[in-house]
């Protein structure tokens, strides 16, 4: 265990803020709609694996989606239930994205954003079949034919493409921008030239991503795509060591400071408590437990020093061992979508001293409050 002040890499990992909805999705309702949608769109569903019936596989995907994904992406894939969570049911996206592209995004996540790595090989909760089921569900949302992508090699001018990107694109797609990090290694490692070309040409109307075909012209589009393809696309990193998986992680010691005083100025959920108040009380030695509501893959990448992993989508293993006589501070990174779900479940289970870290993990790291890396608190 290495408790330390956050370095630049950890800061980049956590600096994401988003608005959040705290209401828990209804997985069974999503599953029922998914089966109906899949039956009505058999001709537009890509069968991911011939071993599985599409209807049953989509139903499995819907249960997982309602449990783990809808909190950010919306129950119907409409997006932006948590800020920066894109619209998965966007028809232009579904017409162009391959099964592999969607599957890799779910499995490996988007480091530096609140999109977790969900695969078991990355320390997440989902098997390969679970990810295929989610891809099948998402495919069932498509209502338009697949497009034929222009997969010619990108042969524009890199320097001009970089200039255009910085003029037209970087305000939304920078490392700290509000939308997809186009230049991320994980995205570029799994996206094709045709997909990029189509996205720049067509955009994602009616979202903030417009069509750039008329503004840039064919050569400008080609230059931007060539620039993007010139960037280093790192291979997917190796899975974490076996000691970091599989989830759930064992619950560490709770509460912190078991002989300490009761914390002051904590707000009972659905009210929230600021990071400064929580840090001050923690530094004072107040008795509390810090619960990281994100996936174990996010937790091991970096968490508040002393926090324990209690994933929002499956807190049941911990409900009997968490203390009901100590304050429980739930947090996530977006800044309180997942932590809000966890707090609501704790309240329903009879816990009364529950609060949520208002500004989320990003602000905690920005303040340079202590963080820890690894599977230990």
At 93-142, the pLDDT tens digits run 999 999 999 999 999 888 777 888 899 888 889 999 999 999 999 999 99
Is 52's pLDDT higher than 60?
Answer: no
Q: Are residues 300 and 345 in the same domain?
A: yes
How confident is the model over 326-343, as a mean pLDDT?
95
DSSP 80: -
- Does residue 333 lie in a domain region? yes
How confident is the model over 172-198, as a mean pLDDT?
77
Q: Are residues 216 and 274 in the same domain?
A: no
CA atoms within 13 A on the CB side of 336: 22
Q: Are residues 23 and 126 in the same domain?
A: yes
CA distance 356 to 340: 7
51 — pLDDT class (breaks 50, 70, 90): very low
- Does residue 145 lie in a domain region? no
Q: Are residues 249 and 328 in the same domain?
A: yes
- Does residue 315 lie in a domain region? yes
Q: Are residues 43 and 119 in the same domain?
A: yes
In this prediction the pTM is 0.76
CATH of the domain at 94: 1.10.760.10
Q: Are residues 248 and 341 in the same domain?
A: yes
- Does residue 8 lie in a domain region? no
Is 261's pLDDT higher than 90?
Answer: yes
> What's the confidence (pLDDT) of residue 95?
93
Of 191, 209, 230, which residue constitutes the final position of a domain? Answer: 230
- Of 53-57, 78-82, 212-216, the one with minimum mean pLDDT is 53-57
Of 108, 139, 170, which residue constitutes the final position of a domain? Answer: 139
- Does residue 367 lie in a domain region? yes
Assess contact for 3 and 377: CB atoms under 8 A.
Answer: no
How confident is the model over 296-302, as a mean pLDDT?
91
Adjacent-strand bridge partners of 329? 290, 355
At 262-284, the pLDDT tens digits run 999 999 999 999 999 999 999 99
How confident is the model over 292-302, as a mean pLDDT?
93
175 — pLDDT class (breaks 50, 70, 90): low
* Mean pLDDT across the chain: 82
Q: Are residues 252 and 212 in the same domain?
A: no
Is 62's pLDDT higher than 90?
Answer: yes
From the CB of residue 19, how many other CB atoms can be counted at a distance below 10 Å? 13
Adjacent-strand bridge partners of 373? 2
Report the share of the chain in percent with pLDDT over 90: 55
How confident is the model over 40-58, as a mean pLDDT?
49
User: Exposed (0-12), middle (13-18) or buried (19+): which is 231, by Cβ within 10 Å?
Assistant: middle
Q: Are residues 331 and 277 in the same domain?
A: yes
Q: Are residues 165 and 258 in the same domain?
A: no
How many structural domains is the chain composed of? 3
- Does residue 49 lie in a domain region? yes
- Does residue 237 lie in a domain region? no
37 — pLDDT class (breaks 50, 70, 90): very low
Is 245's pLDDT higher than 70?
Answer: no
Of 75, 106, 139, which residue constitutes the final position of a domain? Answer: 139
The angle, 0 to 180 degrees and rounded to 10, between the axes of the packed helices 27-40 and 54-68 is 150
- Does residue 302 lie in a domain region? yes
Strand 308-309's sheet: what is its strand order? Answer: 308-309, 288-292, 327-331, 354-356
CA atoms within 13 A on the CB side of 365: 26
18/310: higher pLDDT? 310
Assess contact for 279 and 367: CB atoms under 8 A.
Answer: yes
Residues 6+ apart with CB under 8 A from 364: 14, 275, 279, 304, 331, 357, 371
Assess contact for 74 and 91: CB atoms under 8 A.
Answer: no
- Residue span of the structural domain in which 175 resides: 158-230
Q: Are residues 32 and 109 in the same domain?
A: yes
> What's the confidence (pLDDT) of residue 183?
76
Closest CA to 201 of 170, 225, 174: 225
Q: Are residues 355 and 274 in the same domain?
A: yes
From the CB of residue 152, how many other CB atoms can be counted at a distance below 10 Å? 11
CATH of the domain at 247: 3.40.250.10
């Amino acid at each position: 265990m290495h408790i330390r002040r956050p370095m630049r890499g950890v800061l980049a990992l956590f600096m994401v803020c988003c608005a959040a909805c705290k209401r828990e999705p209804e997985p069974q309702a999503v599953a029922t709609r998914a089966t109906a949608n899949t039956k009505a769109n058999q001709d537009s569903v890509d069968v991911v694996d011939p071993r599985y019936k599409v209807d049953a596989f989509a139903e499995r995907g819907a249960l997982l989606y309602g449990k783990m994904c809808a909190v950010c992406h919306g129950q119907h894939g409409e997006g932006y239930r948590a800020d920066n969570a894109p619209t998965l049911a966007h028809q232009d996206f579904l017409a162009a994205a391959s099964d592999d592209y969607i599957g890799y995004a779910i499995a490996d996540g988007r480091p530096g954003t609140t999109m977790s790595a969900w695969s078991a090989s990355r320390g997440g909760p989902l098997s390969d079949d679970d990810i295929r089921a989610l891809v099948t569900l998402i495919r069932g949302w498509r209502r338009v034919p697949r497009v034929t992508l222009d997969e010619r090699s990108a042969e524009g001018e890199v320097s001009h493409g970089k200039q255009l990107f910085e003029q037209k694109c970087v305000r939304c797609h920078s490392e700290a921008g509000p939308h997809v990090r186009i230049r991320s290694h994980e995205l570029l490692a799994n996206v094709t030239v045709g997909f990029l070309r189509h996205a720049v040409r067509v955009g994602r109307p009616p979202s903030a991503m417009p069509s750039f075909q008329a503004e840039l012209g064919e050569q400008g589009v080609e230059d931007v795509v060539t620039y993007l393809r010139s960037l280093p696309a790192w291979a997917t990193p190796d899975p974490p060591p076996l000691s970091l998986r599989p989830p759930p992680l064992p619950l560490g010691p709770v509460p912190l400071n078991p002989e300490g005083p009761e914390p002051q100025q904590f707000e009972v959920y659905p009210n929230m408590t600021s990071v400064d108040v929580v840090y001050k009380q923690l530094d004072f030695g107040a008795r509390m437990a810090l619960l990281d509501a994100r996936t174990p893959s996010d937790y091991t990448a970096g968490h508040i020093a002393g926090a324990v992993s209690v994933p929002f989508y499956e807190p049941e293993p911990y409900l009997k061992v968490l203390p009901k006589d100590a304050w429980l501070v739930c947090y996530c990174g977006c800044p309180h979508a997942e932590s809000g779900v966890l707090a609501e479940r704790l309240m329903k289970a009879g816990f009364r001293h529950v609060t949520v870290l208002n500004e989320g993990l990003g602000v905690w790291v920005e303040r340079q409050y202590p963080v820890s890396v690894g599977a230990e608190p």
